[in-house]
Amino acid sequence: MANLGFQLLGFTLALFGWLGVIASTAMPEWKRSAYGSGSIITAISIYEGLWMSCASQSTGQIQCKVYDSLLNLDGSLQAARALMVVSALLCFIGICVAIVGMKCTRMMSDNEVTKGRVAIIGGVVLIVGGLACLIAVSFYTHRIIQAFYDLYTPVQARYEIGSAVFVGFAGSCLVLLGGSFLCCSCTSKPQSSKPPRSRPVTQPNSGPRSNREFV
């Protein structure tokens, strides 16, 4: 029962983490415009994501535009986009593999040892997917902070961390926890049901009997 509980908990965490990774990939607010000087007054806020950039006006109107060219994008943006897509695919594969190896499913139920190993493989794939997402959001956050504190960056071109980055951090942590719990639910090899063989009891040698006992 303990292994089943770990598997269910790990699968639930991995599923919610995978949804967080997908949401983070699709959200347009990976970074938002920041103005460090109080004398600058603007009615437009700019958001940039992995796939599009948006402009929000003070009236509530939002206009978004998909990036026209892939080659004109910054290298950090291309790397983050590739890692997030790979992370989402790996998490999907890991969840599918984990479903096959979980004890609550009937697939491969005739061999518990192989079924447990399949669950561990699913957990390893989920861990790799979570690390890919964590690397993407960490690298993108580092570039935003580095450009923000750069003295040569104009005030109008400075950005802050967007909400999609925090969603990505949360999703990657959930996926990593879920994959770890699935790996910890290893099914040991069933022991043989045969009773242990008892060792013969040897009596101490009392020496040769005397012939007088038979008289």
Number of structural domains the chain divides into = 1
128 part of a folded domain? yes
CATH code for the domain of 15: 1.20.140.150
Query: 86 or 10: which carries more pLDDT confidence?
Result: 86
Q: What is the 3-state secondary structure (H, E, C) of 138-183?
A: HHHHHHHHHHHCCCCCCHHHCEEECHHHHHHHHHHHHHHHHHHHHH
Query: 7 or 194: which carries more pLDDT confidence?
Result: 7
43 part of a folded domain? no
Instruction: Tell me the per-residue pLDDT of 73-127, one tens digit each, with 9 for 90 and over.
Output: 888 888 999 999 999 999 999 999 988 888 777 776 677 777 778 888 999 999 9
Q: What is the pTM of this model?
A: 0.78
Packing angle of the helix pair 2-26, 163-184 (nearest 10 deg):
160
121 part of a folded domain? yes
110 part of a folded domain? yes
Q: pLDDT exceeding 90 applies to what percent of the chain?
A: 34
DSSP helix/strand/coil, 99: helix
Tokens of 198: 């008892």
139 part of a folded domain? yes
91 part of a folded domain? yes
> What is the extent of the structural domain holding 138?
2-29+74-189
45 part of a folded domain? no
- Most confident range (mean pLDDT) of 6-10, 95-99, 168-172 is 168-172
57 part of a folded domain? no
| pLDDT at residue 192 in the model | 44
